[in-house]
Amino acid sequence: MKRIPYILLMLIILLIPSCESGEGVCTKDIISRVNAGFYVRDSVGERDTLLNNFTFSGALRPDSLIYDSAAGVQKIVFPLPHSTEAYTSFLFSADALTGTINIYHTPSLVLVSYACGFTTNHNIYRVSHDTLLIDTVSIVNPLVNLSDEENLKIYIKPAVADTVV
């Protein structure tokens, strides 16, 4: 009879579910995007700059604009393709000036969570560009993932910045 409390206690424990799963529901946007900012570097120093009438698209998707005649753009956010092509080209224009920027990147599949599934992170290892609008591009954080951390600093030519800002 003394065992009954023990046995009852043991049966109660069977009712405790094995609450280990808990995947939850995915509420995240799972596309990794490049975060880039526009800057000017001159004799005064380095400062943010804004571009007006700014248009931006993938070179292979000129009909599908990521930015369309946007005003006061200092920061841009854009995706990279999941394929393993060596680089991806983007076309852009600010007022009447146009340019191209090529981003060399290595994609890798990474699990976001078991609820959301996978995303593609990218490692940017090189950036090339034409020199009409852009002075230089600096890779400040090569890893493109779901964070908002800035990856590229795009330095606009000071003379051009005076005309397009």
Partner 1 sequence: MKRTSKYTSSLLLLILLFSSLSAQQQGSRVRGPRIGYDLASLTLLYFDPERKIYTFSVDYEAWQDIYPVIEFGYQNVVLERDNYRYGSSGIFGRAGVDVNLLKYEQPNVYEMFYAGFRYSIAYLTHQAEDIMIPDDYFDGYYGGSVMENQINAHWISVVGGIRVELFNNVFMGWSVLANLKLAQTEDVNMVPYNIPGFGQGGKRASIVFNFTIAYRIPLQRYNPKKIVKKRSEPL
Interface residues with partner 1 (CB under 8 A) are 3, 6-7, 9-10, 13-14, 16-22, 30-31, 58, 61, 64, 66, 78-83, 108-111, 114, 117-120
Smallest distance, partner 1 to C-beta of residue 10, A? 5
| Contacts of residue 70, Cβ cutoff 8 Å, sequence gap at least 6 | 53, 54, 55
What burial class does residue 117 get, using C-beta atoms within 10 Å of its C-beta: 0-12 exposed, 13-18 middle, 19+ buried? Answer: exposed
Taking alpha carbons only, the member of 105, 125, 116 closest to residue 24 is: 116
Spell out a b/e string for 84-99, using b for 16 or more CB atoms within 10 Å of the CB, else e. eeeebebbbbbbebeb
Do the Cβ atoms of 80 and 38 come closer than 8 Å?
Answer: no
Smallest distance, partner 1 to C-beta of residue 21, A? 5
Smallest distance, partner 1 to C-beta of residue 114, A? 6
Smallest distance, partner 1 to C-beta of residue 130, A? 22
Residue 87's DSSP bridge partners are: 104
Of 47 and 82, the one with the shorter C-beta distance to partner 1 is 82
Do the Cβ atoms of 158 and 40 come closer than 8 Å?
Answer: yes
Of 18 and 27, the one with the shorter C-beta distance to partner 1 is 18
Of 53 and 123, the one with the shorter C-beta distance to partner 1 is 123
Smallest distance, partner 1 to C-beta of residue 56, A? 11
Of 48 and 85, the one with the shorter C-beta distance to partner 1 is 85
